[in-house]
Amino acid sequence: MRTEKTACILCSRNCGLLVDIEDGKFTKIRGDKDHPLSQGYICQKAARLDYYQNNEDRIEHPLKKQADGSFARVSWDEALDDIARRLLSIRKQYGGEAFATAGGGGQGNHLGGAYLGQMRAAMKSYYNYNSLGQEKTGDFWVNGRLFGSQECHTAEDIEHSDFIIFLGCNPYQSHGIPNARDTLKEIRKDPRRTMVVIDPRRTETAKAADIHLQLKPGTDVYLLSAMLAIIVRENLHDEAFLKAHCTGFDAVKTMLMNVPIKEYIAAADVPMEDALKVARGFAQAESACVRADLGIQHSNHSTLNSYFEKLFFLITGQFGKKGGNNLHDSLIPILSHTDERNPKFKRTVYHNMFAVSGILPPNILPDEILKAGERRIRAMIVDSCNPALTWPDATAHKQAFESLELLVVIDVAMTETARLADYVLPAASQFEKWEFTGFNMEFPKNGFQVRHPLFPAKGETLIEAEIYTRLLEKMGELPKSFPVLSRIAKYEPDFSSHAGFIAALAATFAANKKLIRYGASILYRTLGPTLENNAAAITLLLPLSISLAQKYPDAVRRAGHDGNKLTQGVNLFNAILKARSGLIFSEHRYDDVWRLVKNPQRKITLAIPELLDAMDKLSIDDLTSEQYPFILSAGERRSYNANQIYRDPKWRKIDPNGFMRMHPADAERLDLAKGDRVKCQSETGTIEAVIEIDDSVRTGYLMMPHGYGSDYQNGKVNGPVINLITGLDHCDPIHRTPLHKTIPVNIEKLSA
Ligand SMILES: Nc1nc2c(c(=O)[nH]1)N[C@H]1C(S)=C(S)[C@@H](COP(=O)(O)OP(=O)(O)OC[C@H]3O[C@@H](n4cnc5c(=O)[nH]c(N)nc54)[C@H](O)[C@@H]3O)O[C@H]1N2
Ligand SMILES: Nc1nc2c(c(=O)[nH]1)N[C@H]1C(S)=C(S)[C@@H](COP(=O)(O)OP(=O)(O)OC[C@H]3O[C@@H](n4cnc5c(=O)[nH]c(N)nc54)[C@H](O)[C@@H]3O)O[C@H]1N2
Ligand code: SF4
Ligand SMILES: [Mo]
């Protein structure tokens, strides 16, 4: 038995873990007190991680689809030679438009994504489909307009905040904030702090709140704009802050002065006095912040919701300060800036859709494969993602994937998407390789942890870095070796700066600019092998550490990483490699936030014409109809769902069916009791559900979890395949974010 440090890979918090390992299995899992962010905290899901590491769906050999639909084992060379040949032929015949990637990282791994990006570069493709494009790109788009770059991302300083609004999120279950359950308890205990929850369900979080605004689903846009209007009309906005730091407030003010407050509060169906209390309390608090998530992003007017969420802390001046909302730096830049107004960034063929932060929305993918004619997508690589189950309209996605000329899936398990592939390439698991996540989103202190391998890689599995590098070599994009660089890497006398290697790398790039795009693989093949313990794949952290230290030397120094211009970043890199529990890599002062704003003069542009225009046209919509009298939230986070990371249904201690919550009054009307089966039908499809009577939901509102519906061992499907009923067109107009929380459905009782 040995004890090791690692991190949980089940949600974006990535809590530090201390694990006991025996005979290739996790035998005990607990929180790591030395982890600088989670400090020993974990939730119930982490204890079950052996179901991820060891399960019957793990794939251990490259597999090729046969004519009869079955899979046969092939060698890596056979698979990669054929994939390389077919990709080259598609590129030659149809160009980069014919190739797209999906995924590139999950809740615990983002390293593969860096190497996957090189495949798009090699194929001359800009089609990057990613799960972030079905939840967060509307938010990123708003950030781009407000702060000048889609790389700007807002954080919330809950720890130091007096007045916190949890807007459409349920951190008790979904986490997303530091040590969620402890944090909620602390806020609740402290009489000087106020917690507000805006959620149509009386969630576990709402039960701990001072004020719960149990609004009608899909009505945040009315509630938020009405509360903003209250703030402005009562002169509670922060004139001094707005004058010093923002432009365009006049246009926003005009829009807010037109909001019919009473009517909108009534549309949200919350008591006026509570709305007044929240608006006034937030504006007048010493410090206040908003934490928002899918409840507003996956519901009607998604992008407008995100805009109002941010106007809340901007017009009240609760930004750029202790306990407020802030921007943050990032060591791993998972976001980029691809402003659609810049013609340099191409659009898709069928939907003429633009990327946000380099990411395209899954809601358009089936059409770009099936309906774009000669210019359609013909080949795809899917990595760390299970879109046949997790992306909207599973039927359309399945049909689209089946029509591709080449589908390659790189995964640790035989997923629903993998079954549709021509080649399934087995990756080493997240506990069998060096890995990290890009979820470094804290301010003022930001942290990061690299995980080292705990188990030998199973069977013939390879790490993603090796798979993609081999593929690029076989495509002839990348030379098989870089003798000069490798020699310098190996024999460089001064390891404290890697100065000789970096100079040689710069010379290599200067001589052949095309190689810059393959920087990750070149580092992996040259400097990589000099790192201890096969850490080659994470060598790309070296340039990232150097670049961070160059941008924020003082913040990096405050976090304890010293050095001069040449050595500080390298010192940070070396510290990261050694810090098994992770480390703090930067510690900012609150007013550093203004350096993170990318607009000229560091001003925030409050007026977003497209959204002001949408606001002008806003009316109160009724989402239900005679045919579809209920609204379903298709994708709640619960104790025993964790996206599709666990496949073996035995990991769940409760709720094997992923029940449907229904208010007692609705159940009575439909003559339903706990445990009854119903047919749930939307415009897109039909699924079955098992009823749970629950008065925490509003009448007329039903809730089902996501993260179910995998058919483990190609056997019985476990729980609802929720995306059979979500539609491609049921989405936000700006970046087609699906509106999973507000799906009109009909319910019919099934006979026993
Ligand atoms: N246990 C668990 N935790 C997870 C995950 C998981 O699968 N399981 N997944 C992770 C991932 S990928 C993500 S993105 C996050 C998501 O985390 P959250 O967004 O916090 O999780 P959800 O339960 O999807 O939705 C949050 C809340 O939105 C509410 N809601 C529904 N409709 C509306 C509405 O119209 N308005 C408002 N204001 N609220 C509404 C729901 O009642 C719900 O309580 O969770 C992460 N954490
Ligand atoms: N209806 C509905 N649909 C939803 C949601 C919802 O609320 N409602 N939530 C959405 C949200 S917010 C998200 S984030 C998505 C999540 O959906 P996806 O992005 O599809 O992610 P996961 O479900 O986490 O699947 C991760 C995949 O990565 C594989 N994997 C694990 N480790 C490794 C590894 O080391 N290497 C490789 N190559 N693969 C690995 C796993 O086996 C799994 O197949 O689902 C979305 N879908
Ligand atoms: S699931 Fe999230 S909150 Fe729970 S232990 Fe894992 S990382 Fe931490
Ligand atoms: Mo997510």
Measured CA to CA, the distance from residue 449 to residue 558 in angstroms comes to: 18
Tell me, what's the pLDDT at 532?
A: 82
- Is 613 domain-assigned? no
Give 168 Cα–ligand 1 centroid separation in angstroms: 7
Tell me, what's the pLDDT at 621?
A: 87
Q: Please give the model's pTM, rounded to 2 decimal places.
A: 0.98
Give 13 Cα–ligand 3 centroid separation in angstroms: 6
Task: Check pLDDT > 90 for residue 465.
Answer: yes
**Residue 345 sits in the same domain as residue 233:** no
Encode pLDDT of 676-728 as tens digits. 999 999 999 999 999 999 999 999 999 999 999 999 998 989 999 999 999 99
User: Cβ(644) to ligand 2 under 6 A?
Assistant: yes
Tell me, what's the pLDDT at 491?
A: 87
User: Cβ(135) to ligand 1 under 6 A?
Assistant: yes
Tell me, what's the pLDDT at 494?
A: 60
Tell me, what's the pLDDT at 497?
A: 77
Measured CA to CA, the distance from residue 88 to residue 66 in angstroms comes to: 22
Q: Residues 449-458: what's their mean pLDDT?
A: 97
Give 107 Cα–ligand 4 centroid separation in angstroms: 8
**Residue 383 sits in the same domain as residue 303:** no
Give 298 Cα–ligand 1 centroid separation in angstroms: 9
Task: Check pLDDT > 90 for residue 60.
Answer: yes
User: Cβ(587) to ligand 2 under 6 A?
Assistant: no
**Residue 130 sits in the same domain as residue 167:** no
- Is 421 domain-assigned? yes
User: Cβ(45) to ligand 3 under 6 A?
Assistant: yes
**Residue 48 sits in the same domain as residue 59:** no
Tell me, what's the pLDDT at 533?
A: 81
Measured CA to CA, the distance from residue 650 to residue 661 in angstroms comes to: 22
> Which ligand has the shortest distance to the CA of 635?
2
Measured CA to CA, the distance from residue 270 to residue 224 in angstroms comes to: 12
Can you spell out the DSSP letters for 222-236?
HHHHHHHHHHHHTT-
Give 131 Cα–ligand 2 centroid separation in angstroms: 7
Give 732 Cα–ligand 4 centroid separation in angstroms: 17
Which ligand 3 atom is at minimum distance from the Cα of 42? 5
Encode pLDDT of 578-637 as tens digits. 999 999 999 999 999 999 999 999 999 999 999 999 999 999 989 999 999 999 999 999
Task: Check pLDDT > 80 for residue 397.
Answer: yes
**Residue 216 sits in the same domain as residue 304:** yes
How many domains is the chain partitioned into structurally? Answer: 5
HEC states along 459-493? CCCECHHHHHHHHHHHCCCCCCCCHHHHHHHHHCC
**Residue 30 sits in the same domain as residue 171:** no
Give 133 Cα–ligand 4 centroid separation in angstroms: 10
- Is 418 domain-assigned? yes
> Which ligand has the shortest distance to the CA of 390?
2
Beta strand 288-292 with 325-327 is: unpaired
Give 135 Cα–ligand 3 centroid separation in angstroms: 20
Q: If you take atom 7 of ligand 3, which residue's CA is the nearest one?
A: 14
> Which ligand has the shortest distance to the CA of 295?
1
Residues above pLDDT 70, as percent of the chain: 99
- For residue 282, the domain's CATH number is 3.40.228.10
**Cis-peptide, bond into residue 444, ω within 30° of zero:** yes
User: Cβ(642) to ligand 1 under 6 A?
Assistant: yes
Could you tell me which residues are beta bridge partners of residue 451? 435
Tell me, what's the pLDDT at 499?
A: 85
Residue of 8, 385, 637 with the most ligand 1 atoms within 8 Å of its CB, for mutation? 637
Q: Cβ atoms within 10 A of the Cβ of 597, count?
A: 21
- Is 260 domain-assigned? yes
- Is 643 domain-assigned? yes
User: Cβ(220) to ligand 1 under 6 A?
Assistant: yes
Give 713 Cα–ligand 2 centroid separation in angstroms: 18
Last residue of a domain, one of 475, 496, 518: 475
- Is 302 domain-assigned? yes
User: Cβ(649) to ligand 2 under 6 A?
Assistant: no
**Residue 123 sits in the same domain as residue 243:** no
Tell me, what's the pLDDT at 589?
A: 98
Q: If you take atom 29 of ligand 1, which residue's CA is the nearest one?
A: 295
Q: If you take atom 10 of ligand 1, which residue's CA is the nearest one?
A: 11
Task: Check pLDDT > 70 for residue 493.
Answer: no
Tell me, what's the pLDDT at 495?
A: 58
Task: Check pLDDT > 90 for residue 534.
Answer: no
> Which ligand has the shortest distance to the CA of 169?
1
- What is the torsional sign of CA 632, 635, 641, 645? positive
- For residue 637, the domain's CATH number is 2.40.40.20
User: Cβ(643) to ligand 2 under 6 A?
Assistant: yes
Domain span holding position 274: 154-327
Tell me, what's the pLDDT at 752?
A: 59
Q: Looking at the chain, how many residues does it have?
A: 752
Cβ-contact 487, 504 below 8 angstroms? no
**Residue 103 sits in the same domain as residue 138:** yes
**Residue 142 sits in the same domain as residue 160:** no
Q: If you take atom 7 of ligand 2, which residue's CA is the nearest one?
A: 635
- Is 437 domain-assigned? yes
User: Cβ(705) to ligand 1 under 6 A?
Assistant: no
- For residue 363, the domain's CATH number is 3.40.50.740
- Is 387 domain-assigned? yes
Task: Check pLDDT > 90 for residue 80.
Answer: yes
User: Cβ(9) to ligand 3 under 6 A?
Assistant: no
**Residue 18 sits in the same domain as residue 114:** no
Cβ-contact 708, 718 below 8 angstroms? yes
User: Cβ(170) to ligand 1 under 6 A?
Assistant: yes
Last residue of a domain, one of 559, 587, 615: 587
Measured CA to CA, the distance from residue 19 to residue 16 in angstroms comes to: 10
Which ligand 1 atom is at minimum distance from the Cα of 219? 35
Measured CA to CA, the distance from residue 645 to residue 721 in angstroms comes to: 15
**Residue 217 sits in the same domain as residue 300:** yes
**Residue 210 sits in the same domain as residue 323:** yes
Q: Residues 335-349: what's their mean pLDDT?
A: 96
Give 173 Cα–ligand 3 centroid separation in angstroms: 10
User: Cβ(164) to ligand 1 under 6 A?
Assistant: no
Last residue of a domain, one of 54, 73, 95: 54
Q: If you take atom 8 of ligand 3, which residue's CA is the nearest one?
A: 15
Task: Check pLDDT > 70 for residue 94.
Answer: yes
Q: If you take atom 27 of ligand 1, which residue's CA is the nearest one?
A: 169
